Chain A
Amino acid sequence: MSLFNFFTRSRNTAPVARERLQLLLAHERALSGKSDLAAVLQEEILAVIAKHVSIDREKVNVKLGQDGTMSTLEIDIEIPQAAIVKN
């Protein structure tokens, strides 16, 4: 370690720890335990919609997210033009 490094090296590392944890945990919380719920929701929502319009299973996207204290459920379904015209 050079003498320069010895004097400039920051001892104040706690803020870095805090920032790294906040980023990591936001990511991990979004993943843990909730992936099952998203899959179940996707299946059930799909079943309800399929009763009324024919939809492409590939065009359904259910996403659970977390932003700070707020949780969001995002459902994105593409309904083909033909299905709407038919009804």
Chain B
Amino acid sequence: MAKVLVVTSGKGGVGKTTSSAALGAALAQTGQNVVVVDFDVGLRNLDLIMGAERRVVFDLVNVVQGDAKLAQALIRDKRVDTLSLLPASQTRDKDALTPEGVERVIDELREKFDWIICDSPAGIERGATLAMRHADMAIVVTNPEVSSVRDSDRIIGLLDSKTVKAESGETIEKHLLLTRYDPGRAARGEMLKVDDILEILAIPLIGIIPDSEDVLRASNVGCPVTLHDPSCAPARAYNDSARRLLGETIEIVTPSEKKTLMSRLFGRKVA
């Protein structure tokens, strides 16, 4: 049965779009039929991260408003043929999405795909609540930083109250994805530790993505990091997270600092 997964955070810039693209590609590579839906109407970026920006003809708003058929708006990835993208609109206003229209599109997507990954906009307004509305499960993307953790807490509250699942008395499955984690700074007590964040937010961890230059390198060329360089640390962490989503049990390893000779000598990371 199709799973609707929302990737959300409250705070902007923590890595929702990067994570949606990376997890979508990782799931698709296991043979699952995956669509990643950009809900950030007005500020679409998923197409750019996935390298499909020049292939957008119709978008989510066109489909919601009945101006285009779903099949016309879906863009199939050129690298992984089980991966598709439903882009957001760039120009229209945020009220272009209606709850009924979104429900219809999600129902239609459920028939075609195994995974529907909804890339939520930042904030707690309409776009974010519509992205989470029909979700079966949620990934809360959090940076080890106070404002991100606070906003994640708000989003968890919304997931537990404003989703269809919550309103019908069921619980929505929630997972924490910790991104931009810098093991060196955490070890030096400069950054919130994994256990601190888990204790505060009290939802299970699905993965820890280390802060890495590889993520920017992949986005520069419009390729999900899991496809760009599957052997780099963030790609491996995303791949493991995707397999955990599929129900596999893989131990979560907290990234550790690479010790160079200089850092061993001086006890600090040398840039």
Which residues does A use to contact B, with CB under 8 Å? 11-15, 17-18, 20-22, 24-25, 28-29, 32-33
Contacts and interface: CB of A to CB of B under 8 A. Distances in A.
Contact of A14 (B150, B154, B189, B200): B189
A15 to B, nearest CB: 7
Given A25-B200, A28-B153, A14 B146 contact: no
B188 interface: yes
B150 A24 contact: yes
A14 B192 contact: yes
Contacts, number: 43
27 contacts: A11-B188, A11-B189, A11-B190, A12-B188, A12-B189, A13-B189, A14-B191, A15-B189, A17-B145, A17-B146, A18-B196, A18-B200, A20-B146, A21-B146, A21-B149, A21-B150, A21-B192, A21-B200, A25-B150, A25-B153, A25-B200, A28-B150, A28-B153, A29-B157, A32-B154, A32-B157, A33-B161
Contacts of B188: 11-12
A48 B191 CA distance: 52
Given A11-B188, A18-B192, 5 more contacts: A11-B190, A14-B190, A17-B196, A20-B146, A28-B150
Interface string B124-168: 000000000000000000000110011001100100010000000
